[in-house]
Amino acid sequence: MLAPVRPTVFLGARLLDGRSPEAVVGVALVTDEDGRIAAGGSAASTAGNAPKDVDRIDVSGLTVLPGIVDCHVHLSLRLETVADQTQRSATDLVVRALQAGRDFLEAGVTTVRDAGHTPSGIKRAFASGAFPGPRTQVSCTPLSQTGGHGDGWTPSGAVLETGVSDLPPGIADGVDAVRRAARLQIRAGADWIKVMASGGVLSAADSPDASQFTVDEIRAIVEEAKASGIRGTLAHAEGTVGIKNALRAGITSIEHGDMIDDEGIDLMLERDVPLVPTFNINFALMDEGRVSRGEVPPWAVEKMRYLFDRQQTNFRHAVERGVRVVMGTDSFSGMYPPAELAYMSEFGLGPFRAIQAATCDAARLLGLADLIGTLEPGKQADFIAISGDPLAEPELWRDPARIVLVVQAGRIVADRRGA
């Protein structure tokens, strides 16, 4: 279990609070015994007024930002060969989720939304302090039509799925069936309902362009989420028609959005629905080492090549037109989520808006804007300290060594200052 939080003064920061692109130099942050930010201001005045028995941590020369919020991860999954997939058990998935949670947290990701295949017990394990991990919201099992992106069927007849007792089935067809499937996820502790609104890259039986579920089916899922009072709904939506079907049905966020067109952008702007682009997984799927090891199947490589440049072009256009962007990475175990900030910046969002997509805007999507996302008194003391200036050097997000200090709820969970 976690040790009690000690009030601490973090001295000498160069602060980017998530609200303004203007960094403030020589700032001190004071955290209290509840793991919240008690005060912030000039190092001289703030540290001088802090209690004398508090810990003092020198972060001079580092840039301090809010903790990263990743709105699309898969804690219990990883890219692996078909042979490895057939050997994984429910226990393996739980262990993997706990390991990924620790790794993501130590990389600076203090809050996540899991987009499928992680049971609600994982979020409780992290929240209780029994295991280190990010603040977590889950969607349990994604909902998919038969033969859709969430259907593990393969042409051989083998079904590449691992049965987990507290992950209800997600394959359903027709309004009544999807309504029941949504209720099963809610009963299992889902904070969100994930909908497969189009085909995808890693599924064997469909195309990313294929629309999946009708508008009426998706609308029934949205209605169930609203009726239950959970956080909302998210749609895996790569194809043009699937994106628009999900938007017309009232979805809360669009994931990937690779083939979005102007009509889809109009719908997103009209409904103020954010786009969660997930560049990180695209580069992982194109990685030559992963492909040569068989971790990315041939059909996935072919589909990813088709989508790769198109997504970047369409993302730039959506940003130019004013679509709100929120960070998500589609990261599995063994991937490095902060690299997404470099991709978002490079592909049109720019360094500061990429930071906001990963902090305050992501917190807003998850319904946590009053708790995290900016560094203000009264909010949770979730923050990272990095070497360098991410506004002038956004490529630093690709280098794990640049994230020097990670603090979650006032506790230091990673400290690389000595390195």
The pLDDT tens digits of the residues spanning 233-267 come to: 999 999 999 999 999 999 999 999 999 999 999 99
pLDDT range class, residue 4, cuts 50, 70, 90: confident
Amino acid at 252: T
The arithmetic mean of pLDDT across residues 205-226, rounded, is 96
pLDDT of residue 205: 84
The arithmetic mean of pLDDT across residues 100-117, rounded, is 98
Question: Is residue 330 among the annotated active site residues?
Answer: yes
Q: In this structure, are residues 145 and 212 in contact, taking their beta carbons and an 8 Å threshold?
A: yes
Q: Give me the chain's average pLDDT, please.
A: 94
The arithmetic mean of pLDDT across residues 60-88, rounded, is 92
Written as six digits, the tokens of 278 are: 């997930």
In percent, the amount of the chain with pLDDT more than 90 equals 83
For the 68-365 domain, the top CATH level (class) is alpha beta
Going by DSSP bridges, is the β-strand pair 24-31/55-58 parallel, antiparallel, or unpaired? unpaired
The arithmetic mean of pLDDT across residues 12-37, rounded, is 91
Q: Show the beta-strand stretches assigned E in 350-410.
A: 383-387, 403-408
Q: In this structure, are residues 324 and 271 in contact, taking their beta carbons and an 8 Å threshold?
A: no
Amino acid at 387: S
pLDDT of residue 153: 84
pLDDT of residue 1: 64
What sign does the dihedral 308-312-317-319 (CA atoms) show?
positive
In order, the DSSP letters of 143-200 are BB-TTSTT--B-TTS-B-----TTS---B--SHHHHHHHHHHHHHTT-SEEEEE-B--
Specify the higher pLDDT residue, 42 or 112. Answer: 112
In order, the DSSP letters of 261-313 are -HHHHHHHHHHTPPEE--HHHHHHHT-HHHHHTTSS-HHHHHHHHHHHHHHHH
The arithmetic mean of pLDDT across residues 30-40, rounded, is 92
Active-site residue, from 17, 151, 194, 361: 194
State the Cα–Cα distance between residues 39 and 31, nearest whole angstrom.
7
pLDDT of residue 130: 94
63, 94, 261, 340, 359 from 354: Cα distances, Å = 16, 31, 22, 9, 9
pLDDT of residue 161: 80
Going by DSSP bridges, is the β-strand pair 403-408/68-73 parallel, antiparallel, or unpaired? unpaired
Active-site residue, from 206, 330, 361, 382: 330
28, 66, 392 from 110: Cα distances, Å = 21, 9, 24
User: Most distant CA pair in the chain: distance in Å?
Assistant: 70
168, 169, 242, 272, 333 from 218: Cα distances, Å = 18, 17, 10, 18, 29
pLDDT of residue 117: 96
Q: Check pLDDT > 70 for residue 50.
A: no
Q: In this structure, are residues 273 and 251 in contact, taking their beta carbons and an 8 Å threshold?
A: yes
Q: Check pLDDT > 90 for residue 95.
A: yes
Query: pLDDT tens across 336-373, in order?
Result: 999 999 999 999 999 999 999 999 999 999 999 999 99
Cross-strand partners of 287: none
Question: Is residue 194 among the annotated active site residues?
Answer: yes
pLDDT of residue 350: 97
Among the residues of 199-239, which ranges form H helices? 215-228
- Would you list the domain boundaries of the chain? 8-66+374-415, 68-365
Q: Check pLDDT > 60 for residue 44.
A: no
Residue 383 φ then ψ, to 5° = -160, 165
The domain 8-66+374-415 is placed in CATH, from the list 3.50.50.60, 3.40.1390.10, 2.30.40.10, 1.10.10.10, at 2.30.40.10
Q: Which region among 39-53, 128-142, 146-160, 304-318 has the lowest average model confidence (pLDDT)? A: 39-53
pLDDT range class, residue 165, cuts 50, 70, 90: confident
Q: Identify the H or E element spanning 277.
A: none
Amino acid at 275: L
Q: Report residue 367 CA to chain centroid gap.
A: 14
Q: How many CB atoms are located within 10 Å of the residue 156 CB?
A: 9
In percent, the amount of the chain with pLDDT more than 70 equals 97
pLDDT range class, residue 419, cuts 50, 70, 90: low
Q: In this structure, are residues 399 and 382 in contact, taking their beta carbons and an 8 Å threshold?
A: no
pLDDT of residue 82: 82
Going by DSSP bridges, is the β-strand pair 275-276/253-256 parallel, antiparallel, or unpaired? parallel
Reported pTM: 0.96
The arithmetic mean of pLDDT across residues 196-202, rounded, is 96
The arithmetic mean of pLDDT across residues 21-45, rounded, is 86
Q: Which region among 26-30, 356-360, 392-396, 400-404 has the lowest average model confidence (pLDDT)? A: 26-30
State the Cα–Cα distance between residues 253 and 251, nearest whole angstrom.
6
The arithmetic mean of pLDDT across residues 111-128, rounded, is 97
pLDDT of residue 157: 79
Q: Check pLDDT > 80 for residue 2.
A: no
Residues 6+ apart with CB under 8 A from 210: 198, 199, 239, 242
Q: In this structure, are residues 117 and 163 in contact, taking their beta carbons and an 8 Å threshold?
A: no
45, 204, 257, 333 from 291: Cα distances, Å = 55, 16, 24, 17
C-alpha radius of gyration, the chain, whole number: 21
Q: Check pLDDT > 80 for residue 49.
A: no
Helix, strand, or coil here: 129? coil
Q: Check pLDDT > 90 for residue 154.
A: no
Q: Check pLDDT > 80 for residue 219.
A: yes
